């Protein structure tokens, strides 16, 4: 089964976390698309009624369309390309029947139950991420019995109200502002002050450099909880990254898919005030104090997006490996800087006073360090109810990106993808014309750089 996202925050006996196996929390993730759907593309030469003819064959075969989208065909001999996701398997001879209509070409990307075929449904544009808004595994007032706010009806009602914001949000809209209560701001302040003591000595250079800018431009302060809209504008101006609200837990596939679009899903509600140093789920303290500062760093963003791109259409097994790499880097990663000093860049550490000290050798019990290698980290088991016994240390964010890019090539996905920052869409690189266009873009950039270098006086 896919991994499920968790945030566990405590400065004593528990740790911050983003991902944990569903079985550890007695919550089962929804079935992966690879287990229950078929994905295919069909391309047509435009003529009167051709699309209706194709769809009528779907109806005759009792095939339920879960998703369909169109675009101008990239092949000059055709007019339109369609991507379709269908419940279950297609009957024998169906593809031949469709192509017999004439002027229609069908390509099977993935058949239900065959994860190795790849091609499970995945978002192709920023707006496709809206589909995840209603698919979180828990949200709003739905709390488990171990949650500090389980028996607090006022807290549950407040949570449900804040979750409504994420449910109704669509890509491109302004993120509604939350008017946080004095009690919520006080809870934020406890955590903010605790972490402030360790920021200069334990956080990586990129985190330390960005944090003052968040104070200046996004209102980071012990007596103010920043708004996602202000953070979104700040990040987009610095690194091209986006942040958007989410109601609760997402499957690891959904969460990682969003990273491919330079987008981070963030909760807006805060933990229960009775236990300010603990929460068994995502909350705004972990997101804003742990994750946001690093998403203003372009090199870190490249690495995060590389994991996201590798997750698109990948098998469940490979997504599990990517999610585990995410755990040991974006959540609990360490790096070397200066003269070899170890510093934290993982959000699970940077938002946890206790584990941040422990990870950098502040306790009698010392963890072990290991150089980051995706093929090793992706297969390493980890606990979710205690501090990590092992941390992976990187030399730089750029080296991590290169290693992750090489690791993604070991996926059994039968195609490659590329992100177009101008259109904020993902393209499947499956024909020579696309690849030629991509090469041309690289050549154009190289031409500009060559001109700049030629005019320099060194």
Do the Cβ atoms of 4 and 20 come closer than 8 Å? yes
183 and 77 housed in the same domain: no
**Residue in 281, 291, 352, 411 annotated catalytic:** 291
Q: Tell me the pLDDT tens digit for each residue of 416-452.
A: 899 999 899 998 887 787 788 888 888 988 999 898 8
Please indicate whether residue 286 is annotated as part of the active site: yes
Angle at which helix 252-259 crosses helix 316-326, to 10 degrees, equals 70
Of residues 31, 57, 29, 21, the one with CA closest to residue 113: 31
Q: Is residue 279 domain-resident?
A: yes
pLDDT at 57 over 60: yes
pLDDT at 72 over 60: yes
**Residue in 11, 136, 351, 352 annotated catalytic:** 351
Do the Cβ atoms of 98 and 52 come closer than 8 Å? no
392 and 423 housed in the same domain: no
Spatial separation of the C-alpha atoms in residues 171 and 166, rounded to whole Å? 11
226 and 78 housed in the same domain: no
Supply the pLDDT for residue 431. 75
Q: Is residue 171 domain-resident?
A: yes
pLDDT at 45 over 80: yes
Spatial separation of the C-alpha atoms in residues 196 and 377, rounded to whole Å? 30
430 and 313 housed in the same domain: no
Q: Is residue 15 domain-resident?
A: no
234 and 85 housed in the same domain: no
Strands (E), 124-279: 138-139, 242-245, 248-249, 263-266
Domain boundary among 77, 100, 117: 117
Q: Is residue 6 domain-resident?
A: no
Q: Could you give the number of structural domains in the chain?
A: 3
Supply the pLDDT for residue 136. 66
246 and 364 housed in the same domain: yes
Please indicate whether residue 272 is annotated as part of the active site: no
pTM: 0.76
**CATH number of the domain bearing residue 152:** 1.10.800.10
CA distances from 416 to 32, 79, 301, 303 (A): 20, 23, 20, 17
Of residues 133, 123, 125, the one with CA closest to residue 165: 133
Q: Is residue 260 domain-resident?
A: yes
79 and 224 housed in the same domain: no
93 and 130 housed in the same domain: no
**Residue in 85, 281, 306, 331 annotated catalytic:** 331
Supply the pLDDT for residue 14. 34
38 and 145 housed in the same domain: no
pLDDT at 27 over 60: no
Domain boundary among 117, 145, 168: 117
233 and 218 housed in the same domain: yes
Show binding-site residues for Fe cation: 286, 291, 331
Supply the pLDDT for residue 247. 85
pLDDT at 388 over 50: yes
Q: Is residue 13 domain-resident?
A: no
Q: Which domain holds residue 426?
A: 415-454
**Residue in 17, 286, 352, 411 annotated catalytic:** 286
Q: Is residue 59 domain-resident?
A: yes
279 and 161 housed in the same domain: yes
Q: Is residue 22 domain-resident?
A: no
Domain boundary among 117, 137, 163: 117
Q: Tell me the pLDDT tens digit for each residue of 279-302.
A: 777 799 999 999 999 999 999 999
- According to DSSP, the β-strands at 104-110 and 65-72 are unpaired
Supply the pLDDT for residue 268. 93
Supply the pLDDT for residue 367. 93
């Amino acid at each position: 089964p896919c991994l499920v996202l968790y945030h566990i925050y405590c400065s004593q006996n528990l740790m911050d976390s983003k991902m944990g196996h569903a079985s550890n929390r007695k919550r089962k993730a929804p079935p992966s698309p690879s287990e229950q759907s078929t994905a295919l593309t069909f391309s047509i030469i435009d003529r009167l009624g051709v699309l209706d003819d194709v769809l009528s064959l779907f109806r005759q075969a009792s095939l339920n369309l879960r998703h369909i989208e169109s675009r101008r065909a990239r092949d000059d001999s055709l007019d339109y390309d369609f991507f379709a996701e269908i419940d279950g398997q297609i009957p024998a001879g169906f593809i031949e029947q469709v192509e017999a209509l004439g002027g229609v070409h069908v390509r099977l990307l993935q058949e239900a139950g065959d994860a190795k075929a790849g091609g499970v449904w995945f978002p192709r544009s920023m707006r496709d991420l809206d589909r995840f808004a209603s698919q979180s595994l828990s949200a709003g007032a739905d709390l488990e019995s171990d949650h500090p706010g389980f028996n607090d009806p006022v807290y549950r009602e407040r949570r449900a109200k804040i979750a409504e914001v994420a449910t109704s949000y669509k890509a491109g809209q302004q993120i509604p502002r939350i008017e946080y209560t004095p009690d919520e701001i006080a809870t934020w302040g406890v955590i903010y002050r605790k972490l402030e003591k360790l920021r200069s000595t334990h956080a990586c250079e990129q985190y330390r450099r960005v944090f003052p800018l968040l104070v200046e431009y996004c209102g980071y302060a012990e007596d103010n909880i920043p708004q996602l809209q202000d953070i979104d504008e700040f990040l987009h101006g610095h690194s091209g990254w986006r942040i958007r609200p989410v109601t609760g837990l997402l499957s690891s596939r959904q969460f990682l898919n969003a990273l491919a679009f330079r987008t981070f899903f963030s909760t807006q509600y805060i933990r229960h005030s009775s236990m300010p140093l603990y929460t068994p789920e995502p909350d705004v303290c972990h997101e804003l104090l742990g994750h946001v500062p690093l998403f203003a760093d372009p090199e870190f963003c490249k690495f995060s997006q590389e994991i996201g791109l590798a997750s698109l259409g990948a098998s469940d097994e490979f997504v599990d490996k990517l999610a585990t790499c995410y755990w040991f880097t974006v959540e609990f990663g360490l790096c070397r800087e200066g003269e070899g000093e170890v510093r934290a860049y993982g959000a699970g550490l940077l938002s946890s006073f206790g584990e941040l000290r422990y990870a950098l050798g502040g306790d009698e019990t010392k963890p072990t360090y290991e150089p980051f290698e995706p093929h090793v980290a992706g297969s390493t088991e980890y606990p979710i109810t205690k501090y990590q016994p092992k941390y992976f240390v990187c030399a730089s964010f750029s080296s991590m990106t290169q290693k992750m890019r090489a690791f993604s090539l070991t996926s059994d996905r039968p195609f490659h993808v590329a992100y177009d920052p101008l259109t904020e869409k993902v393209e499947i690189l499956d024909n020579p014309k696309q690849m030629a266009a991509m090469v041309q873009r690289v050549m154009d950039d190289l031409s500009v750089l060559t001109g700049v270098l030629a005019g320099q006086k060194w």
